[in-house]
A and B are shown apart, each in its own frame.
Chain A
């Protein structure tokens, strides 16, 4: 056993270890105390200096060196007198067969020797069924060759929050996760992609997965060959899709109800065409027309034809777009919607139409006892506070995303919410997000918001979180016994290991 330190004092949740000279214990390091044949895993959350020399003597010695009285002056037996103290907490007790772990309830033996964690110590981290890959275990900044998987069906259903500031690798993580579940058929995912980075139009992306052809659908208003044009028929939109996404005054809502009751699926067309309906003031109709022009981009041209500025909404095409997408999700496929050319509201509206449809379908499946045969559906939502912040929910009201956050678990639907600003999301919703994959964040208020709603006690981990580099993360989940520090692989490197060249046979063309 290569000892790196020794327990010298402390209490539950705050054990002090003296570092052996020549060793460098890092923040976030995983250390082990062997207790017979079982192990106790410790994690470092703070570091400080320790010294046997009184402070006044140290200050005097520093002065002598700095002022040049005796530049060669050294401490007597410095490795004994000066050292580093690591503050650690016990995070897991591992059984002697390494198959079982428990939350530690007693302190390690006083004065125990401590060593670094090794791959074999983590044998209890096995690959579950329906695995979603997150990365390798990380001890400080060192990578341990142990893969971390969670059960995708369970984890996605219980929602995932990915909090981090820009450039910490949020989309890289989600791409790695989706790549690992692609083709399993047990998990469908809807990705609303405002930066058009998941499919890999120009670089590597989910399109490069060996099973992508049958399992990835990509919709864009400017689709590359072989992918789908994003066109949603206006008939697919009902008033409830706008709920919590677009603000309407009471008279406007009343008008919408009247048009919907009278024209059913043609309600938007008739509003845009300005067809009079009793009880709707001309002024209200004009405002609604302007709103639909702003949100949907639909308007009447000089010849009286219905047109759409962003070409995403149509009165003639796209009749099956929503059902095609929902069918694909229901069949465990990944659907990526490139919303990079759309306004925020249009993006959220398209998401709302799809999520509403899948939500109500899954509700119906549950009522007839068929839900268990369906894949779990995850909705990847960038900048989640756009629809989940306290302010939005208070002013615009609940929307389908907040409904999924609260009730989705019952219906096998979960959110993968990505955000820089966790503090804006109300606590009840954060509490429902049972897995949090925490990447680096410089903002203390945001770190606190994540820590306060974590599945494990991370009250001492603020420094750990603040010191996370790009690709480093901490996974806290009801599906893990402790908060696991991980290193997320770079997507491009990760997929190299799983991509193989497809052998294509010669095709004979029959005209």
Chain B
């Protein structure tokens, strides 16, 4: 009789993302609850596809709590296999992930080398289930794409057995609409024919299927890495992870919800009201909310016909809801503007979108004569330049080489090579 094995798939725990003590507790509670659930389900191993921590070196209190829980799982002989996410990545392998790996608490499964211009990856085989795991860690701002582009897919596709591919990247074909500006890779860069594609980076859980890529799964965030995640949760998006049963092939994939608090979502449109009217009406509406023991998300949008946006005070809203028993109040007022107030505001779901918008709007306020620096061209130039300046020193790269590389790329983008050579 063939034995059925189980593994759990978590991603984007973002431990340490939330500095508020209430949120920090909830964030840790979600992580602990998820691992407890793995123990209850008697999984044979756990895969974490990036961003276990919100930073490569997280706050020590968070790290301590996380390590205790991971050790508890490890002590029960359940291995945890992980890759870096874009947040806990370290180019010098000095991330908290590496510390946990060195301590034998988790296993970083990515191993490979670039030879002859091709990236050859080695499979890691889980000793108990013989499941074969391989993957590519994330780097900052989607730079892992260059690894995918040189990946030797053929050798990975040829391998027999039950195969899992772990990655922490958005896939262009499967991105949700609100992340349309996010860096992503086409699915065709993944090796074909794996049994399970364990994804991370997208904060909403989803299970998708494409020709040659039967099961691509993103568990989403366990709690929240960004304020936007609160909004999505409050609108009804479930948070949790996946439990996957398999023999030689997948038998079952189920989403396991990990609720740690109740949410309330309240949206207010202040359009065509002045700031005094809007403040009064908003506070009256908020009074009606059942906020006790709930995480309340308030979204205020629209263009005020008069007055300042600051007349609607976040502090006042927060105090009101906390008095009504809310555990935490998250306020999104990026969409609130006033006809009398023209300072630049940004609305965007992710950093790239916000940066793009900021550049575009700020360029409009500066007098420039050079056409190449205006409008979309100028925005693109600024974004491209920022992308280059964000690059980190490569492993083994000398400081001078690093500076020279960045300078060269920046001059290329600015088309100033000839001026400086």
User: A residues engaging B (CB < 8 A)?
Assistant: 185, 221-229, 231, 311, 316-321, 323-324, 327, 330-331, 370, 373-374, 504, 506-511
Contact = CB atoms under 8 A, between A and B. Distances in A.
A509 B112 contact: yes
Contacts of B395: 508, 510
Given A225-B153, A226-B186, A226-B189, A320 B175 contact: yes
Given A311-B211, A509-B113, A374 B376 contact: yes
Contacts of B337: none
A223 B186 CA distance: 9
Interface stretch (B31-39, B48-56, B142-150, B339-347): B142-150
A504 B118 CA distance: 12
A225 B112 CA distance: 20
A321 B172 CA distance: 8
A319 B176 contact: yes
Contact of A373 (B149, B188, B376): B376
Interface string B129-161: 000000001010000001111100100000000
Contact of B188 (A228, A327, A331): A228
B375 A373 contact: yes
Given A226-B149, A504-B117, A511 B173 contact: no
B269 to A, nearest CB: 19
A504 B112 CA distance: 19
B375 A320 contact: no
A268 B266 CA distance: 31
Contact of A320 (B83, B137, B180): B180
Given A321-B173, A508-B114, A510-B137, 9 more contacts: A222-B211, A226-B186, A374-B375, A504-B117, A506-B114, A509-B114, A510-B89, A510-B139, A511-B111
A224 B397 CA distance: 33
Given A225-B153, A323-B180, A507 B186 contact: no
Given A228-B173, A374-B376, A511 B112 contact: yes
B350 interface: no
Contacts of B119: 507, 509
B374 interface: yes
A317 B376 contact: no
Contacts of A508: 114, 394-397
Nearest to B147: A509
Of the candidates A319, A370, A511, the one having the most CB atoms from chain B within 10 angstroms of its own CB is A511
Interface of B: 83, 89, 91, 93, 108, 110-114, 117, 119, 137, 139, 146-150, 153, 172-177, 179-180, 186-189, 206, 208, 210-211, 374-377, 380, 394-397
A114 B91 CA distance: 73
A373 B379 CA distance: 11
Contacts of A222: 211
A324 B172 contact: yes
Contacts of A319: 174-177, 180
Nearest to A222: B211
B270 to A, nearest CB: 23
A228 B208 contact: no
Contacts of B208: 316-317
B189 A225 contact: yes
Given A509-B114, A509-B147, A331 B139 contact: no
B377 A373 contact: yes
A231 B375 contact: no
A231 B210 contact: yes
A323 B188 contact: no
A374 B380 CA distance: 12
B180 A228 contact: no
Contact of A511 (B108, B188, B375): B108
The 8 closest A-B pairs by CB, nearest first: A373-B375, A511-B110, A320-B180, A223-B188, A228-B186, A319-B177, A320-B175, A229-B173
Contacts of B397: 508
A324 B153 CA distance: 26
B181 to A, nearest CB: 8
A88 to B, nearest CB: 44
B111 to A, nearest CB: 6
B177 A507 contact: no
A227 B149 CA distance: 10
5 contacts: A226-B149, A227-B186, A229-B211, A311-B210, A327-B180
A502 to B, nearest CB: 11
A507 B396 contact: no
A428 to B, nearest CB: 33
Contacts of A318: 173
B353 to A, nearest CB: 12
A321 B206 CA distance: 18
Contacts of B149: 226
Contact of B150 (A228, A507, A511): A507
A311 B186 CA distance: 16
A318 B396 CA distance: 40
Contacts of A321: 172-173
A370 B375 contact: yes
A227 B174 CA distance: 14
B376 A511 contact: no
Nearest to A505: B405
A66 to B, nearest CB: 71
Contacts of A507: 114, 119, 146-147, 150
A225 B157 CA distance: 13
A506 B150 CA distance: 12
A319 to B, nearest CB: 5
Of the candidates B137, B148, B188, B380, the one having the most CB atoms from chain A within 10 angstroms of its own CB is B188
Nearest to A320: B180
Given A507-B150, A509-B119, A225 B188 contact: yes
B180 A185 contact: no
Given A321-B173, A323-B177, A226 B380 contact: no
Of the candidates A231, A374, A506, the one having the most CB atoms from chain B within 10 angstroms of its own CB is A231
A223 B188 CA distance: 7
A362 B51 CA distance: 39
B355 to A, nearest CB: 15
A162 to B, nearest CB: 29
Given A223-B186, A228-B188, A320 B153 contact: no
Contact of B210 (A225, A317, A504, A509): A317
A317 B186 contact: no
